[in-house]
Amino acid sequence: MVDAKVIISNNIRRLRFFAGEMTQQELADKTGVTRQTIVAIENGKYFPSLELAFRLAHTFNVQLSEVFAYYPENDPVHKKLKDKLTKKGKQ
Amino acid sequence: MGQQEKQSIVSIIGSVLVIGFYSLYVYRNYIQADMGLLNDFQFWGKSFLYLIPVAIVVQIVIQILFAIGNRIITQEDISDITDERDKLIELKSIRISHWIFTAGFMLAMGSLAMGMKPYVMFLTLISSGFVASLASEVAKIIYYRRGA
């Protein structure tokens, strides 16, 4: 079960483990970023650009959806838009 | 503490040293001898023009010394990679320093508008530049700790 505050989660730690316990530095070198950026992404403190997200997925040879997961029910913007559309539908 | 945070701290120390020693040098060698210089536009023009290259050279020297010291202590080279997060943090911190300098500029112009002496305007400009540069580095440290 994911925390209600989490909008986007990632599986990078698990994917690193299944990639022969790849280190954060190795992943950083393979994706062209610093180790600190990998740490920030893993901890959910930084959301990468689409380009870097695809590069991460490509490094692990998996689909993007296996690296990142989106929880619309936790996204306030999504909720707001949904409410707006529901109101419009009723009118 | 990450490498970027250390570099920001070194940069803050460098800025404080430059502005501190430069102000002391200018005060002791020029202003103390002739207080009338405070309202001399040419004096302020020269002071600003000399401060900029001095600050740049001192910052470069301090960063080189830091890189050497860091290499000796941690056995790690300073990464030359600047990734998207670094660029984002740089942009955010520049925005903060820009707003602070703009506020300082407005204050400086306000001092002229209120009929204060020209040296108040120049001191406000230098101070706002200094505070803006410090704020930029402090913002970087905070953003690096927060993630971005």
Segment B63-81, tens digit of pLDDT: 999 999 988 988 877 777 8
Question: Does the distance separating the beta carbons of A43 and B85 come in below 8 Å?
Answer: no
User: Is A1's pLDDT higher than 80?
Assistant: no
CA distance B2 to B103: 31
pLDDT at B74: 84
* For residues B31-35, average pLDDT: 88
For residue A45, give how far its alpha carbon lies from the nearest alpha carbon of chain B (Å): 5
Is residue A1 situated within a structural domain?
Answer: no
Mean per-residue pLDDT, B25-37: 89
The pairing of beta strand A68-70 with beta strand A8-10: antiparallel
Structural domains of chain A, count? 1
Residue of chain B minimizing CA distance to A25: B79
At B142 the pLDDT is 96
Query: pTM score, two decimals?
Result: 0.85
* Structural domain range at position A66: 8-90
Residues 6+ apart with CB under 8 A from B5: B140, B141, B144, B145
Give residue B120's pLDDT band: very low, low, confident or very high (50, 70, 90): very high
Residue A2 counted as domain residue: no
ipTM score over 0.95, yes or no: no
pLDDT digits (tens, 9 = 90+) for A30-66: 999 999 999 999 999 999 999 999 999 999 999 999 9
B86 contacts in chain A (CB < 8 Å): 34, 37
Task: Report helix, strand or coil for B2.
Answer: coil
Q: How near does any CA of chain B get to the CA of A83, in Å?
A: 30
CATH number at residue A42: 1.10.260.40
The answer, yes or no, to whether residue B56 has pLDDT greater than 90, is: yes
**Tokens representing residue A56 in the block:** 């991460």
Computed over every residue of chain B, the mean pLDDT equals 92
DSSP class of residue A49? P
| Separation in Å, CA of B93 to nearest CA in chain A | 16
